[in-house]
Structure 1
Amino acid sequence: MNADQLSATSARAIGLDVDALTVRGGKPLDGRIEMKGAKNLVTKAMVAALLADTPSELRSVPEISDVRVVRGLLEIHGVAVETLGDTMRLDPANVERAHETSINAHAGSSRIPILFCGPLLHRLGEAFIPDLGGCHIGDRPIDYHLEVLRNFGAVVDKLPTGIRMTAPDGLHGAKVRLPYPSVGATEQVLLTATRAKGRTELSNAAVEPEILDLIAILQKMGAEIQVDTDRTIRIEGVDHLVGYSHTALFDRNEAASWACAALATGGDIFVGGARQQEMTTFLNVYRKVGGAFEIEDDGIRFWHPGGDLKPVVVETDVHPGFMTDWQQPLVVALAKAKGISIVHETVYEQRFGFTEALVDMGATIQIHTECLGSHACRFGQRNYQHSAVIAGPVSLRGADIVVPDLRGGFSHLVAALTAEGESRISNVGIIARGYERFIEKLQVLGADFDVDG
């Protein structure tokens, strides 16, 4: 694949209009790639701009489809959005109601519209969300969100086309305790409480780096937010917020994915923009498996130093634990480790569906309903297949694969890059939801592949 083919259209370089890739495996990935801001922060920061009375400026915005979805939703609500390079300017001066059909058309399968509710209730007194989609990795119910909004005074009406919310008396502070430290529900509280009347106390909150970066943005806007060491967040509502100027936190999920690609393919990848502090837990596991890394001021170099990879036991968890989004690409590398590895998934109950394709490619992976980690989790005794046993090393072989979800899809791509022979991976556009210009980066790293459509 040459550079001229790659740059035929920007959309194709980003991966938005690509249907399938034909990958010829067995070639180590080698080179340097650059990352921009985290998908899980940038999209929420864009929504936060709705809360302000003046324009906001967000830097290090990646070219991913989730950003395009949020931009479209903002624009149909009257927000003026301009981009120059990776900088986005968002002006909410003319926020207005949007038609349900327009919201449905722009939302697609994204779950992001649920986070528009608090800001729109503040600005317009009403909000609408369509039926929510997203990756099929677990139930991920919106019950947390709806209950949170009711606590703030929202009236929730379920319609055949979606959910409409109103706030006839405005929104007021609330005392909320989450049954699980959900990232999405924590974001919901933050985006709703900052302009609610009175004080809000959120217990059992998520404290991921992306959450703390969102709090930093809201504080720049004039919000009063206190984070305690016991996962309690207290917000004092204010009447007005101003626009922010902020450079987004790097995407640690993307960094870990490319790190695992280097390990699985026997390669050497420098991930520009990656930082040690937010990846400490991942780096510890990476080293235990046998991977090597080197920390630089402008990024992290990841490589396979030679020799056998080692088996590990890993449990996913909320921050500061091992992220659920890290386990899928790691499983591909563990298929090449000498011995038995165990991955206990405690965040999403259906995140091992992607292993079926790996088994078809020759991996030895068994999925179990028991909690095979050091402690029982909320999925124990509920018949969820949430523990994986991986035996290696094995040689993967090429196969035809349909991408099921974002992280699983990237993991399938890594598997194809390590496999003997040729693989055809379809539905790869899903990968563009969270991996900026992944096709271009594959070319830079020397991958052998063709774009099929």
Structure 2
Amino acid sequence: MDNDVLIVRGGLPLRGEIRIPGAKNLVPKAMVAALLGESPSRLRNIPAVRDVEIVTGLLELHGVSVRPSGMPGELVLDPSQVERASVDEINVHAGSSRIPILFCGPLLHRLGHAFIPDLGGCNIGGRPIDFHLEALRQFGAVVDKDPEGLHLSAPDGLHGTKLELPYPSVGATEQILLTAVRANGVTELRNAAIEPEIIDLIAVLQKMGALISVLTDRTLRITGVERLYGYDHTALPDRLEAASWGCAALATRGDVYVRGARQADMMTFLNVFRTVGGEFEIDDSPGGGIRFWHPGGDLKPIALETDVHPGFQTDWQQPLVVALTQASGLSIVHETVYENRLGFTDALVSMGAHIQLYRDCLGGTPCRFGQRNFRHSAVISGPAKLHAADLVIPDLRGGFSHLIAALAAEGTSRVYGVDLIDRGYSDFDTKLAALGAQAERVAEAA
């Protein structure tokens, strides 16, 4: 945690316009994909988030040139001088992100060896790398673990294989794609993740020369090729950030135009937003977006289950829960993706929200966390009058949700650990100011 504190005077509706950049869950992965090419790549719509900085640092350690093109939000990545980096240099990034695990396949193809430091990321539940390592072993990688991290090699090269994920993990799907595209032979992946960010990564790889078929029943078929080349790509907009600002508009009874938001990626969220009582308007013109607003009156309670795409995304759940504290009646939220993602509600309760957590699957469908002692269902009773509090941000989406609660609450809150929000929300201080929020970041002595 850094020493920055956000001082938030709440109780004011957010009103105005902001612009969202490319997806935080796509851009760093597309940057890793540039390692696979034999010529420079050009990537646009880059968000100013921490994961981009981390991947830039790791790419540069391995000899990849990463430089601004001269156009705002655009990078040129030249992998023509890829080289091995020292363990000590790589370990500087230990614990900072989970993105480094995705370097495995590209580095094995380019150098025959990869070292991956200890991983970090948000503490929202188990996100084991076992899927990644088992998949890499099936491709022919040898994985050695030591206290420093993971050393991988491929003495006989990487070869296509058949895999089926026990759960459609986004990270494991990305790993397999980045490894299979240059593996010898055909790879078939069943039960793959098919989030929009995955499809956009497939588009990037296809531009590079990859052969990837998206079949029915969550199946991907990848035919390995000998060479890949650079790409020219504009990242899809960040649908998760767009929904966060939509929920902030709802919770504060505001009106926020999110320029860059795209309807096609958010249809499930928009249905729920409207069911709760929010209003939105789609602008399909070039450079358009989505306007989200609270139309007045009471919000409606709902029963909701999170799920993998095309279901209701787990990253949409936490911001929406804050808005549901203002709905009239009982709402039920069943989290099926991350077992500990409802822990952020403790802070909301301290602010006056009425939320109870349960170990049972309160949704219509039993999930893999049922009977496993995880509090993964929430009952929210509203409307609740929120009051200011001192808040410590636990993770990226939970942290932004705490910020929404502070904006909706009466009084002045102090929000600690805002660097975690920087990981996924580009220039959020500037956006808050554009929406009329009274929020100021200050540095406190350690």
Shared fold per TM-score greater than 0.5: yes
2:94–2:118 contact (8 Å) kept in structure 1: no
User: In structure 1, what is the Cα distance between the partners aligned to 2:86 and 2:30?
Assistant: 23
Query: 1:114-133 CA distances to partner (integer Å, 9 max, x unpaired)?
Result: 00000000000010111111
Show the counterpart of 2:13. 28
Q: Does 1:66 align with 2:64?
A: no
1:201 maps to 188
Partner of residue 313 from structure 1, selected from 303, 325, 328 = 303
Out of 74, 89, 93, the residue aligned to residue 87 of structure 1 is 74
2:320 corresponds to 1:335: no
CA distance in 1, matches of 2:34, 2:339: 33
1:5 match: none
Distance, in Å, in 1 between the alignment partners of 2:123 and 2:375 is 14
Q: Which residue matches 2:128? A: 141
Other-structure match for 1:172: 159
Equivalent position SS for 2:316: helix
Code of the aligned partner of 1:285? V
Q: Deviations over 1:277-329 (max 9, x none)?
A: 11000000000000000000210000000000000111000000000000000
TM-score by length of 2: 0.97
Give the 5 Å matches for 1:91-170.
91-170=78-157
Provide Cα deviations, 1:16-50, integer angstroms capped at 9, x if missing partner. Answer: 97711111100000000001100000010000000
Report what 2:381 is aligned to.
391
Distance 1:322 1:410 in 2: 18
Work out which of the residue numbers 434, 437, 443 in structure 2 matches 1:447: 437
Give the match's secondary structure for 1:383.
Answer: coil
Q: Following superposition, which runs of at least 4 residues in structure 1 exceed 6 angstroms of deviation?
A: none
Q: Structure 1: which 5+ residue stretches go unaligned?
A: 1-15
Shift of 1:57: 0.3
Shift of 1:107: 4.4
Q: Secondary structure at the match of 1:314?
A: strand
SS in 2 for 1:376: coil
Which of 19, 36, 42 matches 1:57? 42
Counterpart CA distance in 2 for 1:336 and 1:327 is 15
Q: Is the 1:226–1:235 contact (alpha carbons within 8 Å) kept by the matching residues of 2?
A: yes
Conserved? CA contact 1:73–1:107, under 8 Å: no
- Counterpart secondary structure, 2:356: strand
Q: What residue identity is the alignment partner of 1:60? A: N
Return the offset for 1:267: 0.4
Return the match for 1:231 from 193, 203, 218. Answer: 218
Give the match for residue 24 of structure 2.
39
**Cα distance, 1:109 vs structure 2:** 2.1
Instruction: Please give the secondary structure, in 1, of the residue aligned with 2:155.
Output: coil
User: What is the CA deviation profile of residues 151-204 of structure 1, one whole-angstrom value per residue up to 9, with x for unaligned ones?
Assistant: 000000011111100001110001000000000000000000000000000000
Distance change in 2, residues 1:33/1:18 (3 Å): farther
3-state DSSP of counterpart to 1:106: coil
State the partner residue of 1:436.
426
Superposition CA RMSD, Å: 1.0
Farther off after superposition, 184-193 or 128-137 = 128-137
SS in 2 for 1:354: helix
Alignment partner of 1:270 out of 241, 245, 257: 257
Kindly provide the amino acid, as one letter, of the partner of residue 44 in structure 1. Answer: K
CA distance in 2, matches of 1:402, 1:60: 31
Percent identity between the aligned chains?
69
Q: Give the TM-score normalised by the residue count of structure 1.
A: 0.96
CA distance in 2, matches of 1:71, 1:367: 40
C-alpha contact (below 8 Å) 1:18/1:451 kept by paired residues: no
For the Cα contact (< 8 Å) 2:5–2:416, is it kept in 1? yes
Asked if 2 retains the 8 angstrom alpha-carbon contact of 1:154 and 1:167, the reply is yes
Q: Deviations over 1:413-444 (max 9, x none)?
A: 00000001110001001101010000000001
Give the AA of the match of 2:178: L
SS of residue paired to 1:113: helix
Distance 1:17 1:444, change over 3 A: farther
2: CA distance, partners of 1:77 / 1:17: 28
Instruction: Give the aligned residue type for 2:242.
Output: A
CA distance in 1, matches of 2:396, 2:2: 15
What letter corresponds to residue 192 of structure 2 in structure 1? A
Paired residues of 2:93 and 2:117 also in contact (CA < 8 A): no
Q: 2: CA distance between counterparts of 1:170 and 1:415?
A: 51
How many residues matched? 438
The question of whether the paired residues in 1 share the 8 Å contact of 2:105 and 2:179 is answered with yes
The AA in structure 1 aligned to 2:17 is: R
Equivalent position amino acid for 1:150 in 2: R
1:126 touches 1:165 (CA, 8 Å); kept in 2? yes
Report if the CA contact (8 A) 2:334-2:363 is conserved. yes
- Distance in 2 between residues matched to 1:314 and 1:18, nearest whole Å: 36
Task: Check whether the contact 1:207–1:231 (CA below 8 A) recurs between aligned residues.
Answer: yes
Which amino acid letter does the alignment assign opposite residue 162 of structure 1?
G
CA change 1:25–1:251 in 2 (3 A) is same
Q: Secondary structure at the match of 2:421?
A: helix
